[in-house]
Amino acid sequence: MEDLSFQQTVDRLLVHRHAVNEVFLTDLVPIDRDTCVIGAQLPLSHPYFLDQRAPAARYDALLLTECCRQAGTYVAHTQYGVARDWVFLAAATSIELERTDILEVGDSPGQLILEVHSLPSFRGGLLRSVRTRLDLSIAGERIGVMEGEGRYLDREEYGLLRQGRRGGQVPLSSALGAEPAGVPVAPRLVERRDPRNVLLVDAHGTADGLAARLWVSGRHTTIFDHPLDHYPAMALLEAAAQATTLAVRLDGADGAEVRITGLAADYVRFAEVDADVAVTATITERPPAAGDGPITADVVFQQHGAVLTEIAVRAELHTSDRVPARQAVAA
């Protein structure tokens, strides 16, 4: 789109980020009241989103989902007048990548175009909930689609909601330790290089997948760009991707590349930062015994025995070497 600019990033506060280097959006061009086009510059490197084991770095479902999250937040503030200090609560998100072959990081930053279609709901003239569809393209090629649903609360409403459910003060992520509270998974087994980006500890194989616990450093500069009173949806999506990847590794595909192509989540409860979050991944579809193919898994997050989030994961297996199953998962 000729009018769309990629010259500079938008106001960081309008995408709920504190660090400028965590902002990917660059411009918005309105089409009508509920439709607009947004530009995002995809980075050449990033300590979290592009920390990948594969020899050729790729823009993946998690980075594209973060761009969509920023787009939805930016639209709410700029197009619908949501106050800067209001809180967005995700109810559901899904992303489907239709192409992964054109997502390799090149010599210059990628230019992502998001066509945003919103279905807003107002109360008292204020945006209260919204359903959004975002069609994604790079270099004129359609790469996929994301859909999301959520609601907006002012600070007082949000405070009452959080304190009412807990019956007291809600702790912040800044109270989390910097060192893993358990035995961390080896980074290579979840397509990572940096141990700080591994979100699973105490993992072990099960008959049809794996079981583990969620762990995120309170000092993680991307996930907790600013202190939060719960684990954010983006962390749960990444943990689901890692759980699926590790389950595939334990199933005997240790030398293969796992590319996440789809994530569909329903968020039921807050993932509190002061209690264990159990993660289970069940593989529901496997590729042929000796070849590439699709993978699907169901990942469930629980806390105090209650389901927090269920995430359906789709992936592609790209084989290189295979090693015996049930390798050690500790770093």
How does pLDDT run across 195-224, given as a tens digit for each residue?
Answer: 999 999 999 999 999 999 999 999 999 999
pLDDT of amino acid 181: 87
- Give 171-321's CATH code, choosing from 3.40.50.2300, 3.90.1170.50, 3.40.50.300, 3.10.129.10: 3.10.129.10
- CA distances, 52 to each of 23, 58, 88, 90 (Å): 20, 8, 29, 27
The conformation of residue 241, written as its DSSP 8-state character, comes to: H
pLDDT of amino acid 325: 40
What is the C-alpha separation between 299 and 283, in angstroms, rounded?
Answer: 9
The conformation of residue 305, written as its DSSP 8-state character, comes to: T
Model confidence at 1, in pLDDT bands (50, 70, 90)? low
Average pLDDT of the residues in 242-268: 89
Selection from 164, 173, 160 nearest residue 273 by Cα: 173
The tokens describing 133, both together, are 């569809």
Amino acid residing at 202: D
Q: Which residues pair with 149 in a beta bridge?
A: 92, 131
Matching fold, domains 12-160 and 171-321: yes
- CA-based R_g, the chain, Å: 19
Indicate the domain borders of the chain: 12-160, 171-321
Query: What is the distance, to the nearest Å, from the Cα of residue 230 to the centroid of all Cα atoms in its chain?
Result: 15
pLDDT digits (tens, 9 = 90+) for 76-129: 999 999 999 999 999 999 999 999 889 999 999 999 999 999 999 999 999 999
pLDDT of amino acid 216: 96
Pseudo-torsion of CA 269, 275, 276, 281, nearest 10°?
10
Selection from 72, 236, 59, 43 nearest residue 146 by Cα: 72
Contact 106, 43 (CB under 8 A): no
- CA distances, 62 to each of 95, 132, 199, 271, 325 (Å): 9, 17, 14, 19, 27
Contact 138, 110 (CB under 8 A): yes
Q: Burial level of 140, CB count in 10 A (0-12/13-18/19+)?
A: exposed
- Give 12-160's CATH code, choosing from 3.40.250.10, 3.10.129.10, 3.40.50.620, 3.40.605.10: 3.10.129.10
The conformation of residue 174, written as its DSSP 8-state character, comes to: G
What is the C-alpha separation between 223 and 270, in angstroms, rounded?
Answer: 16
pLDDT digits (tens, 9 = 90+) for 175-201: 998 888 899 999 999 999 999 999 999
The tokens describing 284, both together, are 């529901």
Quote the strand ranges of 54-171, DSSP E.
87-97, 110-123, 126-138, 141-153
Model confidence at 326, in pLDDT bands (50, 70, 90)? very low
SS3 of the chain: helix, strand, coil, percent, to 5: 20, 40, 40
Amino acid residing at 235: A
